[in-house]
Amino acid sequence: MRLLKNITIFGLLLFILQSQAHGQDIKTVRDFGYAVSLYDKGLYIVAVDAFKNFQFNNPDDPRNAEAQSYIGKSYMALEEYENARAAFEEFALLYRESPLYPDVYRLLAECCERLGEPETAAQRLEALGDILFAESRHAVPALYRAAEIYITIGKTEKAYNLLSRLIDNYPEHQLYPKAVILLSNLYAENGEYGKAIRELRKIEDSGVENTVKWEAAYFRGIYELKVNKVTSGEKTLQSILTGAPSDSSIYQKAVLVLARHYQAVNKHDEAQRVLERLINVGRANPHLKGQAYMLLGINHHLRSNYKEAEKAFQQALEILDNTSSAYRECLYYTGLNYTKLEDNRQAFSFLSRMFSQEWLDTLDGRAAAPYEFEALRLYFRTANLTNASVDITLYSKAILEKSGMFADAEMFLRWGDLFLESSVPRTAKALYEKGISKFPGSRGSDFLFLDLGKTNELLGEYLTASGSYEKVRNNFPGGEVAHLAEERADYITRKFSTLSQEEIIQKRSQFFSQLEQILTGQRTPEQIQNEAFIQGKHYFDIREIDRALKSFSTIIEAGAAGQYYTDALKYAAQLHDDLFHIYSFEGDPIMAEREGRAALNYYTMFLEQSGSADFSDTARRRAFDLTLELTENPDEKIQQARILVQSLQNQRYEDAADYGQYKLAKLIIKYENSVAAVSDAVNLLGRLEMESFDKPIQEDILYLQVAAGQKLLDNTRIIQSCSRYMSDYSRGSHAPEVRYCGAKALFNTGDAATAKMWTDQLRSDFYYSDYADSAYVLLADILLKEGNTEEALTLYRRAIRSVSEYEKPGFLALLLWKTGDAYAQKRDFTGAADHYGMYIAAAGDINKKSKGYSALAKAYASQDSLDAAINAYHEIISLNPDSAQTFNAEVEIAYLLLQLASSPVDINLDEKLRRARQAFLEIARKPLPDTTRARLEYSALLCLYNLDRREEANNERSDFEKKYRNLPDELMDDYKSLLRVEEGAVHQRTGMKLLQTADQKEADNRLKDAENIFKDVIEKYPGSKAQQLAEFYWGLQMAVFQNRLDEGMPLLTNFHRKYPDSPYLYNVYKQLGTYEMNLEWYRDAYVSFSRAIETPKGRNDRKLHSDFIKMCIYIGDNTMAIDAIRDYLQHFPNAPDRMEKQILIGTLYSELKEYDAAFYHLKSILPSANPDDQIIIQYNIGLNLYEQKKFTLAIAELLKLIEYSSPSSFIETSYHTQAKWYIGKSFKEIGQYENALHYIDELLNTIPSNDPRHQEARKEKEYILELMKIKK
């Protein structure tokens, strides 16, 4: 709070000076944005004044409601909850219609809770739920939180009502399952386990997420075990182990419950089996894994395997948090285990860690579990056995003081029995008596009377003991306890007649002192300093900095002997510190440095004078901060921080040293990038005691853990840190960023469901934050990864519209990039190219533009727009000629030129090959590694072979082999063999061309040369890629060019069996399929094309897909053709012939006589078609109905067609003519001959007389006229 106060004082000064600098008075500030900036900077006191002045000066401004909410939030940040409550109540009164009303009302309830009025808070939340009853987004969380508070304060009836109402009215809300679980837990606490189980079954039988179902099953299993439904309970918990992921907390908690149950029923083998499952989980929660080791130790202990138990307990203690109850339980069982090993000293050592002075200080008198009593009893016993000095009276006094908190007679009985057995009978007696007086006649009171009697006997107070036994006999007659009491009373009566009671009275004396004030009538130096101090303090309080400094300087100049010297140093340091911040904010570095050094000097002088004063810790912190702030270089800052921390540790200023370590860690995480440095910073933070810091620093430490996880790229650490931060600071200053980082980390680890949930919470809770836009983008990323491309694109486009180019250019560029990637994933390369182009325009630096051009080039290449791709790569070269990206671009250009040159029909083929060769050679002249240069020169050689310059190519190949003989043998063999195959392929292609020119002799020679080369490669390089390629070319040559089908076809048809992973499968089966199709071997072509399409390259070959569809149609397999078309449309959603393929599906359905499927398919594609295609589709719909002899419906659909117009006169005329023909024939079929004649005549007037359809129409007209005569 001191630090917060200093910050707010500085904020007030800063605000005053800024107002003066701009000629403004603080009361005339109208800038709402400025007030918000003050709030964002943590200057809450000043922000309150600024918002109030804004409201005063702008009474009708619509932002007054938001200003009022900021006032309340500022007071909350200052922990002035009364003022915050007043501000929020004023908001609730004035701005009921504001969209901020639900959030403000919730904060109002939070204020009540912070002020120690939980019931009022719950009532407020309940009222909020009533006000917003129809809007579940705010109403349900309010009602749910109100129910939680009512449970906390013991008003379970109200909680029942609220939860029942929530469950009845909001079954679709995401909090519905949690409400059901909470209600079931209430039933269970009341002993109504049957009701609890029934409620939980509602969740398990509903359609909620599996995680919620598993949570419900977890509680149901526990409750079933409670009511001795052992089989059912075990089965329920086992279902979680079967279905839930092993790294989920519900799985791990279920393991622990099952293990404890198995131990309770002596099924130790089963207990060990389930515990080992949890221990072997790699990403188990450390706390739960520690408990698993502890239960494994207990399991070994129960089986008398004490040495194995010892190992398990040691592992558990290393993992468990030493502040947790599980850690305490583990200490108890470790101590108990050592007593079995007869090592009482070790036992006492572990038990003593449970019952330290700190435990005594925090003791509330209520044991967390039965083992606490047993542990304390064992602690006293082992202390006695080892002669350790333990003052039991300390514990007895503490328990007596806290016994007023005991909730029932059982607690008095347990603690009393413990002290009675530990030989502290008077404490036991006092506890029994207090229990009897507090809970008379309740359950356990009979044992209290009985044990009180035994204690009195032990103390020799037999008459009192006899009276206790009589009360048991009178008040609780007939029971076993009464029988025991009667026996003891009879024994006392027989043995003793009268006994005296002794009273001990202790007296205490009190001492008083008086304070004398000596007043003198003269102005001594002390009086002068006194007056200066009073004046300085006054000016300090009203922030008159110059006057205050003048007064304090008078005291400081008088020397260290003065009465107020130390206080003057303290206030002067704070004033100079405030001035340092003011000048820093105003951008005056010279004045800021001067004031900062003055403040640092005074802080140092103060610490030298008064190392133990109240202000010393604050002074050390500020001196630490100023030293770092006055150091500019980041490396020097970190080094200086290390030196200061070491100094503070050496002087044993632990609090200041902890603060220094926090600041050091913050600097490292901010400036360092190495894994080792950031890991050290994380370790520093981990060693800090959070409770020693105030709330803002605690929040910042948790945030730094998140930031460190991001720098370390450790998603698990990020998720854990984010979860911890959000559990403590769900509305903290970093909450939106933390929520976003956590969601992103969850997405990166593959937990898309939880990532979605976190992004949804971010968008609903922090809709006003910049991270809300980022959440939309992250959600789009998740959808994209799940394959839901359309929804992802919708979110990306929405985000692009909402982001201003001038406000967030970097974010806009990122969005455009991601949208381009999404279009590319959708295989819409046109859309991808458009967005990559916009990304290039939005990108700021050259590297980002180069990245954009590279992606744009790939998009163009995917559309077979190779020239456009080459131009895009040239843009990269022009942007930064000397960069590594330029080299990559040059290589890509060369390969694209080679790809252009491989076009089957290209009149500029030789020119493109020469350009590609030249490009490869130019790049190879650059200083490159040999392997890279060899790859480039190899590509240049391929170009030379394809130019059919064999002699030159062979010479160059020989030089290539000599030049790179030092490369690895495997690599050189690849190059040699592949070049040899290419030589053969050139012979083959030349032979094929010569066959076409009827030069049979030369063609045969060339083909023979090719065959010899292919055989040579197959023999010399077995198992190589060249062998596969040679077999492909040779088989193709024999089958296609030499008509040696029996030899060639087996090489091709069995290629996929022989080389299932070959990169040439696509080429083999595409060529083979084309050849088989030309021979009209459609069945064989169908098989070949199927195999080609199954390859990665085949899946992206649009022409291959089209040929495959033709194959299916040629062989008459329309069903397969429809599937192939759908596959084609999925792979190429933006293909130019996509609508033609859609129409073809309808035609194929009709041919299959599946008329309904054809009709509905054609109807579904009609709205999205262009005018020409709409005419064709409408015609096919009418023809479909005509073929089904549904003539009336056919007429209706074909008449619609005539109403369509088209930009293409040919399409319109052709299909209108055909439509009239079928309309006329349909009217004839239903006996409406006049209408039939009308459309036939229109047809005759439209069609030329030499058209065959004209003759057919005339015959149809004559036939209709005959029918009309017959009808008459």
What's residue 998's pLDDT?
62
pLDDT band at 508 (very low <50, low <70, confident <90, very high): very low
pLDDT band, very low/low/confident/very high, at 13 (cuts 50, 70, 90): very low
Q: According to the model, what pLDDT value does residue 2 have? A: 36
**One-character DSSP codes across 39-56:** HHTT-HHHHHHHHHHHHH
Distance in angstroms (rounded) separating the CA atoms of residues 896 and 1026: 23
1155-1272: same fold as 413-495? yes
What class has domain 1155-1272? mainly alpha
- Are 551 and 539 a contacting pair, CB within 8 Å? yes
Angle at 115 between CA 114 and CA 120, to 5 degrees: 95
What is the percent of the chain with per-residue pLDDT over 90, rounded to a whole number?
Answer: 1
pLDDT number for residue 925: 77
Token pair for 234: 């075990």
For position 806, what pLDDT does the model report?
Answer: 44
Q: What is the tens place of the pLDDT at every residue in 252-299?
A: 888 888 888 888 878 888 888 888 888 887 777 888 888 888 988 998
Judged against a pLDDT cut of 50, whether residue 26 lies above it is answered with no
Answer yes or no: is pLDDT of 753 > 60.
Answer: yes
Say which residue the tokens 């300090």 belong to: 540
pLDDT tops 70 at residue 133: no
* The pLDDT of residue 517: 32
| Mean pLDDT of all residues in 1092-1114 | 78
Q: Does 497 have pLDDT greater than 50? A: no
> What local confidence, expressed as pLDDT, does residue 1237 receive?
86
- 613 has a pLDDT exceeding 70: no
The pLDDT tens digits of the residues spanning 155-165 come to: 878 887 888 87
Q: Tell me what pLDDT residue 72 has.
A: 92
Q: How confident is the model at residue 1040 (pLDDT cuts 50, 70, 90)?
A: low
251 has a pLDDT exceeding 70: yes
The 10s digit of each residue's pLDDT in 932-985 is 778 778 778 777 777 777 778 788 778 887 877 787 877 777 777 777 777 777
- Return the pLDDT at 71: 92
Measure the CA–CA gap between 1181 and 1203, rounded to whole angstroms.
15
Tell me what the mean pLDDT of segment 531-543 comes to. 73
Structure tokens at 565: 């010297």
Cβ-in-10-Å burial (0-12, 13-18, 19+) of 1011 comes to buried
Instruction: Quickly count helices (H) and strands (E) in the chain.
Output: 66, 0
Q: Give the pLDDT band (50/70/90) at residue 495.
A: low
CATH architecture for residues 413-495: Alpha Horseshoe (1.25)
Statement: residue 596 has pLDDT above 60 = yes
CA dist 250 and 252 (Å) reads 5
Residue 554 phi/psi, 5° resolution? -60, -40
Q: What phi and psi values does residue 870 have, to the nearest 5 degrees?
A: -60, -40
- For the chain, the distance separating the N- and C-terminal CA atoms, rounded to the nearest angstrom, is 109
Each residue's pLDDT tens digit, 289-335 = 888 889 889 988 888 888 888 889 888 888 888 778 888 888 888 98
> In the block, which residue shows the tokens 């009336």?
1192
Distance in angstroms (rounded) separating the CA atoms of residues 629 and 593: 9
**CB neighbours of residue 726 within 10 Å:** 19
For the chain, give every domain's residue range.
413-495, 1155-1272
pLDDT of residue 21: 40
CA distances from 131 to 122, 136, 219, 496 (A): 14, 11, 33, 75
Mean pLDDT score of the chain? 77
pLDDT of residue 1042: 67
| pTM, 2 dp | 0.41
Confidence band (pLDDT; 50, 70, 90) for 135? Answer: low
Separation in Å, CA 939 to CA 892, 905, 1248: 12, 21, 61
User: Does the pLDDT at position 906 exceed 70?
Assistant: no
pLDDT at residue number 526: 67
Confidence of residue 498 (pLDDT cuts 50, 70, 90): very low
Q: In a 10 Å sphere around its CB, with 0-12 CB exposed, 13-18 middle and 19+ buried, how is residue 1136 labelled? A: exposed
- Name the nearest CA neighbour of 1075 among 1111, 1113, 1033, 1040: 1040
Dig out the tokens for 398 from the structure: 């503490």
Alpha helices in 422-504 (DSSP H): 425-438, 445-458, 462-475, 480-495
Per the CB < 8 A criterion, the answer to whether 58 and 30 are in contact is yes
Q: Which residues contact 14 (CB under 8 A, 6 or more apart)?
A: 43, 46, 578, 581, 582, 585
Q: Of 196-210, 857-871, 1144-1158, where does the model show the most confidence?
A: 1144-1158
Confidence class for position 510, pLDDT limits 50, 70, 90: very low
pLDDT at 853: 76
Taking only Cα atoms into account, the Rg of the chain, rounded to an integer number of angstroms, comes to: 45
Distance of alpha carbon 1071 from alpha carbon 69, whole angstroms: 73
Angle at CA 370, nearest 5°, toward 308 and 724?
Answer: 75
Better-scored residue on pLDDT, 442 or 46: 46
Range with the poorest average pLDDT among 66-70, 498-502, 947-951? 498-502
The Cβ of residue 849 has, within 10 Å, a number of other Cβ atoms equal to 21
How many residues in total does the chain contain? 1272
Q: 518 falls in which pLDDT band (50, 70, 90)?
A: very low
Contact 1070, 1104 (CB under 8 A): yes
**Residue ranges with strand state E in 399-506:** none
Task: Give Cα separations from 914 to 417, 636, 886, 983 (angstroms).
Answer: 102, 59, 21, 17
Please give the backbone phi and psi of residue 587, each rounded to the nearest 5 degrees, phi first. Answer: 80, 35
> Residue 142: pLDDT above 50?
yes
User: 528-532, 581-585, 975-979, 1245-1249: which range is least confident on average?
Assistant: 528-532
pLDDT top residue among 324 and 613:
324
Q: What is the pLDDT of residue 519?
A: 30
Query: Are 638 and 664 a contacting pair, CB within 8 Å?
Result: yes
